[in-house]
Amino acid sequence: MENKLVCQLITQLANTVKAQDHELDEKLDKLTRKIVSSGSYHGAASELHAILAYLDEHTVGLKPAIAEYEEKANNALEKLQKVQGLSHSMHDDIRSFLSEPAPSSLHDHQERLLEVIGFYQETLNTKEKTNPDFLRERNQGEEKPTAEMDPKVHERTCDELQRLITELDFAGEFGEALSRVRSQLLNGVEPQALPAICLKIINLIIDGTREERKASQAFLYSLNESLSSFHYSFNSSMSETRGLHSDQQNLNDELKSHIKTMGLQIDSTHDLLHLKLSIQGQLKEINKLLETREDFESKEKELQSRLSQMEAKLKLMKEETSEYKKRLSSQKHKLFLDSLTHVYNRAALDERLELEFKRWQRYHNPLCLAIVDIDFFKRINDSYGHMAGDKALKVIARALQKSLRDTDFIARFGGEEFVILMPNLDSEDIAIPFQKLIDTIKAIPFKFKDNKVSITISIGTTLFKEGDQPLDAFERADQALYDAKHQGRDQVVISL
């Protein structure tokens, strides 16, 4: 019974921690295969030692990486010290920073990196105050004014930044801060403000990622401690089980010996008095052995109780791991969703397009790609504000999604553009579903600031053809969309 229970515990443990780490999975598979093939847990301690050593290795591997990045951070500050015009207090702060002991944890190292960024930011701010043209100077010290940023490039950069923010999914203060930055970008920023905004976005991404990493590390450390405790209890239980098994075997051997001796005495002795005394002596010994057996049974019950506690602890670990897996699955799903419209994002589009392209190459079933653009979307933002624009994007995305088949795929490509993939759509039927989309969006009764607004869409679409790569089809659909825009909008243009 003990053997079966321990084997069951080990198997459940392997299933509980599965899919956390590839190499750990292999070690656990090796352990469970050995137990299943032998039908016993004897000899499994060496595999458990190997698993425990591997878990300990994770924490050891952090130290070299921290040392390498710390060296790079110190080199960056040493170069900063050579910049002319630094204040004495700045020099003192940098020297003090460099004299501090190296960080012992990843968290401390990240905090120091933020301080390094702060030193550079403070230096730039000081230089700009004392010399507004500081950023325009060249290495030779000549003052050559930089060319003005092209308005279209500036607008596209702002659009890409705010699109990037919509693809991030940080909860709490970091998500709220990124949302405020996106609002700032939508309301318009000067070109010279973009570097500071980019730096702010990077810092928020670093901070948000660090918080998520902390949560993951806390779970792994907790799992490591639980495994260590289980390993100790498992070894102790195995040792005690082997001892009990050996003692019980010896006890049984002694009982058999006494019974055998009594039988021989009965057969060979004719003196009843002598036989009585001899049997009484044997019965006393047997009685002592039975008392010892009761002690063994008590210890066995205690061992079974400990194994039950281990099973309960393992069940709790399984529940915690299951919950963590659900959270990871939810986060993975959110990584592929556009946080504003809740349709798929560009990352999901790349993955799905690759999958559909491979299916098209293999089975040669028709595959349609379409680009949808909201007509005069900038006018909505300019006339009614970006909140109205966001609302329109959400409504249109939901309407497009509801109008598609289950096998179709839609993703927000950026700004006011969406990409649709439609498998198994023949060339003679290609116009029908897209005209339906155009009519559906046109029929939506938008209302902003008590004004009724009609919104239309333009669509460019194509079918994959022999020799195509995904980019070829995308460029044809993009050209078809361009033609739809220049032919009056509110229409679909097909490029075959």
To the nearest 10°, report the CA torsion of 428, 430, 436, 438.
-130
C-alpha of 300 from chain center: 44
Looking at domain 346-495, which CATH architecture does it have? 2-Layer Sandwich (3.30)
Give me the torsion for CA of 412, 417, 422, 426, rounded to 10°: 180
- What's the rounded Cα separation, in Å, for the pair 288 and 156? 92
Nearest Cα to Cα of residue 454 among 464, 442, 466, 463: 442
CA 187, 192, 193, 194 dihedral sign is positive
pLDDT (0 to 100) of residue 22: 63
Active-site residue set: 416
Quote the pLDDT of residue 409.
Answer: 98
What are the 10-residue block averages of pLDDT along the chain, 496 residues in total? 63 62 68 68 66 64 65 78 73 80 67 78 73 53 53 79 73 81 83 85 80 69 67 66 71 74 69 70 75 76 77 78 72 78 91 95 96 94 89 96 96 93 94 96 93 96 96 96 96 95
3-state secondary structure of 465: coil
Phi and psi at residue 447, to the nearest 5°: -145, 120
Quote the pLDDT of residue 431.
95
What's the CA gap between 108 and 85, in Å, rounded? 30
Which part of the chain has CATH 3.30.70.270? 346-495
425-464 in b/e burial notation, b at 16+ Cβ within 10 A? beeeebeebbeebbeebeeeebebeeeebebebbbbbbbb
Query: Sign of the CA dihedral 42, 43, 44, 48?
Result: positive
d(CA 66, CA 107): 10
Q: Cα(first)–Cα(last) distance of the chain, in Å?
A: 71
